[in-house]
């Protein structure tokens, strides 16, 4: 049975709204006279939904919406607007309110809006729980030599790693950096055989491709044009494993500066490799040097739950 | 009008109109059970014995929904009433036909037609 | 070059908005005098973003938002609101407009709002392109005996199958039905071992037994294992329960009039109808459903049972 918290500075309106809600659906209704009271109540128990007036003393509906977004983002808020305060309603929606109902149309619209918002919240909670049941996920991609594909791929991996709770925010960042380096290496140094391995600055240069840049020219020319980068991503609660393979001639892994060497952090292939080595638990190349396997394991210091 | 989570109901003339709101299988079994109970209770009270099931909100469904409809139908039959479906999507009709259950309940194109049909 | 389409029936307001946008050298501005003109322009050559007034004759801002969402879901729409149009603005935001700027704040907020919405849209578009490069995907779930997870799981898998280009809207629904049946079977018949004979006889007892078993050992600890393996050619969905299995050949034919009242068998029938292939392992606790690209499964075949 859902609990709905009704927030309104008018006692008459509170009774009216509560009565309307209970008449039309099965729920428990609680009351608060303004935003501050509402928040105080929520220290102990969270309602499933908040229905609030907009203009109230002490803390108004808009401020309540803002505070809810920060402290209790999972509890949806429906705003009731009096005639003349629609502009505030728009602002409230932007700030994260789930919906709004004009006070003049409560009987008509509140029960239905309440049902809809509760259903959406239920669905969102179930989705989160579902992701918690994901025990493994694997993706394979076949990429053109286009830098614009790198960020979305790194983002996607970041989201899955986050959902699987493999590592903390810093760990995810490291995975992102290492993966990005590996991808840019494959795309540009590997497939397009462009000498300067892009660092972050180099990448910006490459992304602002001008018509006659080397990148553009190579992307149009065979054999570079037809080469693809193959990416394999395998994520489980214990580890994230990436295999990035390009179709270029490869490189001499042994000749690259070893970590700690003088040239290791220079903005050439050396720096990229150093980052990848530093951030991943395992880093191996095939003999030709055009396929790299990177593994990041769940950190033992991180919240250790037995894998599901 | 009653807003249950899965089955909204309305009364029109002598007919009880049941409107499934969406997927039934994604609710907990005991919630469907208690909603069904309420529905069936309403059928047992003196009053409309005829039921129209309006599928406007549901584009497809499976055996859990069929099972719920079956339960409703049994009560309707016991009380000597009739049950008719309406606003069934193409996919819904296919499901009814494939599962062989289309012989039990007539399907009408609109709610109005269904109400007329059930009260004939 | 990023193109912005400014839609407003007032020439003065159009010029005003356009003027602020022109301060950014990367933006090209085009204009339309009402919703209908805007739609024509969008169809001919889609802009990167639409900036629109709300109150216009013929097709107003609200309709424009709905239409653009339908035909060009990757083109964001920003609303320009004025006093009196707030109610419509709220509706438009709920209908999918990306953001809004009050007309009296154009000077201060227009460029920054446009830039941030464009950044989000670019990310979305790149994501779409990336998904087009996906060649294979596999995911594995281990679900508790909880019906409330079925809805999100089916939606997730439908999304995956659609992303791989394996099905259209109708086939997507069919896969949904088949999946729900597979999951329901795995839960009730598989893990909880509640036979369907009770269903249809005494529903109250049926649901009571289900609830009881969900709380009891060993049923409580059992899981439903779902494995979805997708390539651009086919989707293979495997559902395994931890019950003692059954004999798939023993399912009664639900289309036999004798069995009309019985609930059993109907679920498997729906699965077989809507997927290209349905196979059980010997023990009967694993079902593998396959859907291939391009096959439009019409259940009109009498030879299929």
Q: What is the CATH number of the domain that holds A202?
A: 3.30.565.10
Among C139, C151, C183, C238, which would you mutate to test the A interface (most chain A Cβ atoms within 10 Å of its Cβ)? Answer: C139
Residues A127 and A141 in one domain: no
**Is the Cβ of B1 closer than 8 Å to some Cβ of chain A?**
yes
Across residues A139-168, what is the average pLDDT? 91
Residues A243 and A171 in one domain: yes
Which position has the higher pLDDT, C78 or B46? C78
Domain with A192, as residue range(s), is: 137-297
- What's the rounded Cα separation, in Å, for the pair A137 and A166? 12
Chain B neighbors of C199, CB-CB under 8 A: 67
What does the mean pLDDT of chain A come to?
Answer: 85
Write out the DSSP string of A202-231. HHHHHHT--TTSHHHHHHHSTTGGG--EEE
Last-in-domain residue among A132, A163, A182: A132
Across residues C32-50, what is the average pLDDT? 93
8 Å CB contact of C299 and B103? no
Q: How far is B2 from chain A (nearest CA, A)?
A: 6
Written as six digits, the tokens of C179 are 């999946």
Which chains have 3+ CB pairs within 8 A of C? A, B
Chain B neighbors of C180, CB-CB under 8 A: 23, 25, 62, 64
> Could you report the predicted ipTM of this complex, rounded to two decimals?
0.82
Chain A neighbors of C123, CB-CB under 8 A: 151-152, 155
Choosing among 3.30.750.24, 1.10.3720.10, 3.40.50.2300, 2.60.320.10, the CATH entry for B2-118 is: 3.30.750.24
| Cβ-proximal residues to A192 (8 Å cutoff; 6+ apart), any chain | A145, A214, A215, A218, A219, A224, A227, A248
Chain C neighbors of B55, CB-CB under 8 A: none
Written as six digits, the tokens of A209 are 């491709």
Model's pTM, two decimal places?
0.79
Helices and strands of chain C, counted as H and E runs: 9, 10
pLDDT score recorded for residue C198: 64
Residues from A contacting B (CB-CB < 8 Å) are: 24-26, 111-112, 115, 119, 126
Residue A136, pLDDT > 70, answer yes
8 Å CB contact of C140 and A94? no
Cis geometry, peptide bond prior to residue A259 (ω within 30 degrees of 0): no
Residues A156 and A224 in one domain: yes
Strands A77-81 and A49-53: parallel
Sheet strand arrangement including A99-102: A28-32, A3-7, A49-53, A77-81, A99-102
Chain B residue with the nearest C-alpha to that of A110: B3
Q: What is the DSSP letter of A298?
A: P
Residue C209, pLDDT > 50, answer yes
8 Å CB contact of C139 and A156? no
CA end-to-end span of chain A, whole Å? 30
Across residues C45-61, what is the average pLDDT? 90
The kind and range of the H/E element at B10 are strand B7-12
Chain B residue with the nearest C-alpha to that of A1: B31
Question: Which residues 202-221 of chain C have a CB within 8 Å of chain A?
Answer: none
Q: What is the CATH number for A9?
A: 3.40.50.2300
pLDDT score recorded for residue C169: 84
**Would you say residue A304 lies in a domain?**
no
Across residues C159-186, what is the average pLDDT? 90
Chain A neighbors of C127, CB-CB under 8 A: 152, 155-156
8 Å CB contact of C90 and A133? no
Residues A176 and A70 in one domain: no
Residues A117 and A172 in one domain: no
8 Å CB contact of A130 and C141? yes
**Residue C15 pLDDT grade (very low, low, confident, very high; cuts 50, 70, 90):** very high
**Residue A9 pLDDT grade (very low, low, confident, very high; cuts 50, 70, 90):** very high
Residue C248, pLDDT > 80, answer no
Among C145, C146, C150, C157, which would you mutate to test the B interface (most chain B Cβ atoms within 10 Å of its Cβ)? Answer: C150
Write the pLDDT tens digit of every residue in A57-97.
888 888 999 999 999 988 999 999 887 677 777 788 878 88
Q: How far is C58 from chain B (nearest CA, A)?
A: 30
**Residue A217 pLDDT grade (very low, low, confident, very high; cuts 50, 70, 90):** confident
Residues A127 and A143 in one domain: no
> What is the torsion angle, in degrees rounded to the nearest 10, for the CA atoms of residue B39, residue B43, residue B49 and residue B50?
10
Residues A49 and A147 in one domain: no
* Structural domains of chain C in order of their starting residue, each with its CATH number: 2-132 (3.40.50.2300), 136-292 (3.30.565.10)
**Is the Cβ of B28 closer than 8 Å to some Cβ of chain A?**
no
Residues A52 and A105 in one domain: yes
Written as six digits, the tokens of A301 are 């210091």
8 Å CB contact of A24 and B3? yes
CB distance A60 to C57 below 8 Å: no
Chain C neighbors of B29, CB-CB under 8 A: 147, 207, 210-211
Residue C29, pLDDT > 90, answer yes
Residues A149 and A55 in one domain: no
Across residues A129-146, what is the average pLDDT? 92
Residues in chain A: 308
Among C157, C178, C203, C272, which would you mutate to test the B interface (most chain B Cβ atoms within 10 Å of its Cβ)? Answer: C203
Residues A120 and A250 in one domain: no
8 Å CB contact of A126 and C142? no
Across residues C41-65, what is the average pLDDT? 91
Q: Which of A83-97, A243-257, B40-54 has the lowest mean pLDDT?
A: A83-97
Last-in-domain residue among A132, A162, A195: A132
Phi, psi (deg, nearest 5) at residue C107 = -55, -45
Task: Tell me the β-bridge partners of B71.
Answer: none
Q: How far is C5 from chain A (nearest CA, A)?
A: 23
Last-in-domain residue among A101, A117, A132: A132
Q: How far is B102 from chain A (nearest CA, A)?
A: 31
Chain C neighbors of A89, CB-CB under 8 A: 86, 90
Write the pLDDT tens digit of every residue in A252-284.
777 666 655 655 555 555 677 888 988 999 999
- Number of CB atoms found within 10 A of residue C159's CB: 11
Residues A37 and A158 in one domain: no
Chain A neighbors of B26, CB-CB under 8 A: 126
CA end-to-end span of chain B, whole Å? 24
Residues A126 and A154 in one domain: no
Q: How far is A75 from chain B (nearest CA, A)?
A: 19
Strands C2-7 and C27-32: parallel
Strands C99-102 and B15-20: unpaired
Number of domains in chain A: 2
Axis-axis angle for helices A150-163, C106-132 (nearest 10): 80
**Residue C207 pLDDT grade (very low, low, confident, very high; cuts 50, 70, 90):** confident
**Is the Cβ of B78 closer than 8 Å to some Cβ of chain C?**
no
Sequence ranges of the domains in chain B: 2-118
Which chains have 3+ CB pairs within 8 A of B? A, C
8 Å CB contact of C150 and B25? yes
Among C174, C203, C263, beta carbon nearest to B36: C203
């Amino acid at each position: 049975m859902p609990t709905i918290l009704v927030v309104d500075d008018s006692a008459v309106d509170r009774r009216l709204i509560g009565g309307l809600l209970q008449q039309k659906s099965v729920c428990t209704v609680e009351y608060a006279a303004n935003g501050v009271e509402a928040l105080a109540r929520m220290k102990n128990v969270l309602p499933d939904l908040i229905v609030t007036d907009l203009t109230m003393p002490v803390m108004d509906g808009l401020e309540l919406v803002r505070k809810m977004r920060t402290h209790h983002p999972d509890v949806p808020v429906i705003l009731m607007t009096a005639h003349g305060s629609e502009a505030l309603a728009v602002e409230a929606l932007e700030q994260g309110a789930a919906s709004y109902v004009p006070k003049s149309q409560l009987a008509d619209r509140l029960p239905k809006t309440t049902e809809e918002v509760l259903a959406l919240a239920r669905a969102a909670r179930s989705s989160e729980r579902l992701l918690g049941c994901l025990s493994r996920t694997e993706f394979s991609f076949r990429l053109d030599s286009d830098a614009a594909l790198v960020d979305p791929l790194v983002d996607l991996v970041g989201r899955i790693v986050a959902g699987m709770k493999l590592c903390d925010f810093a760990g995810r960042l490291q995975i992102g950096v290492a993966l990005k380096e590996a991808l840019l290496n494959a795309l540009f140094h590997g497939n397009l055989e462009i000498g300067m391995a892009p660092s972050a600055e180099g990448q910006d240069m490459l992304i602002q491709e001008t018509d006659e840049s080397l990148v553009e020219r190579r992307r149009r020319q065979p054999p570079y044009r037809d080469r693809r980068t193959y990416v394999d991503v395998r994520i489980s609660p214990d580890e994230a494993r990436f295999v990035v393979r390009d179709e270029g001639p490869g490189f001499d892994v042994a000749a690259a500066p070893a970590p700690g060497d003088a040239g290791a952090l220079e903005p050439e292939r050396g720096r990229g490799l150093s980052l990848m080595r530093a951030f991943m638990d395992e880093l191996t190349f095939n003999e030709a040097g055009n396929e790299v396997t990177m593994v990041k394991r769940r950190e033992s210091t991180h919240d250790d739950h037995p894998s599901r | 009008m009653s807003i249950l989570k899965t089955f909204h109901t309305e009364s029109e003339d002598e007919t009880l109109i049941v409107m499934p709101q969406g997927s039934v299988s994604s609710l907990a079994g005991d919630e469907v059970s208690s909603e069904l109970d309420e529905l069936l209770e309403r059928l047992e009270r003196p009053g409309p014995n005829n039921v129209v099931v309006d599928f406007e909100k549901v584009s497809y469904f499976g055996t859990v929904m069929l099972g719920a409809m079956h339960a409703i139908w049994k009560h309707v039959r016991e009380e000597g009433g009739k049950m008719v479906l309406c606003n069934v999507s193409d996919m819904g009709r296919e499901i009814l036909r494939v599962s062989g259950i289309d012989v039990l309940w007539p399907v009408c194109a609109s709610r109005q037609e269904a109400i007329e049909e059930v009260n004939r | 070059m990023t193109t912005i389409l400014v839609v407003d029936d007032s020439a003065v307001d159009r010029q005003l908005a356009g003027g602020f946008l022109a301060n950014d050298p990367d933006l090209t501005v085009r204009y339309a005098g009402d919703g209908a003109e805007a739609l024509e322009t969008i169809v001919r050559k889609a802009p990167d973003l639409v900036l629109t007034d709300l109150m216009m004759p013929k097709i107003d801002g609200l309709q424009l938002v709905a239409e653009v969402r339908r035909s060009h879901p990757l083109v964001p729409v920003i609303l320009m609101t004025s006093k009196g149009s707030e109610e419509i603005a709220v509706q438009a935001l709920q209908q999918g407009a990306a953001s809004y700027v009050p007309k009296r704040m154009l000077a201060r907020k227009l460029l920054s709002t446009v830039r941030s919405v464009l950044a989000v849209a670019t990310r979305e578009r790149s994501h779409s392109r990336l998904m087009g490069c996906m060649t294979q995907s596999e995911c594995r779930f281990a679900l508790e005996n909880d019906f409330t997870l079925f809805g999100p799981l089916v939606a997730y898998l439908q999304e995956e199958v659609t992303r791989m280009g394996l099905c259209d809207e109708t086939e997507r629904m069919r896969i949904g039905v088949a999946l729900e049946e597979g999951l329901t079977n795995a839960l009730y018949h598989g893990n909880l071992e509640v036979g369907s004979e009770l269903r249809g006889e005494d529903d109250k007892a049926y649901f009571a037994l289900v609830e009881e078993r969900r709380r009891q050992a060993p049923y409580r600890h059992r899981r439903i294992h779902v494995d979805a393996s997708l390539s651009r050619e086919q989707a293979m969905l495997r559902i395994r329960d931890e019950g003692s299995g059954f004999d798939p050949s023993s399912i009664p034919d639900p289309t036999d009039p004798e069995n009309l009242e019985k609930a059993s068998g109907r679920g498997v029938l729906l699965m077989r109808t809507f997927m290209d292939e349905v196979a059980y392992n010997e023990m009967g606790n694993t079902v593998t459903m396959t859907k291939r690209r391009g096959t439009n499964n019409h259940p009109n075949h009498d030879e299929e049972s």
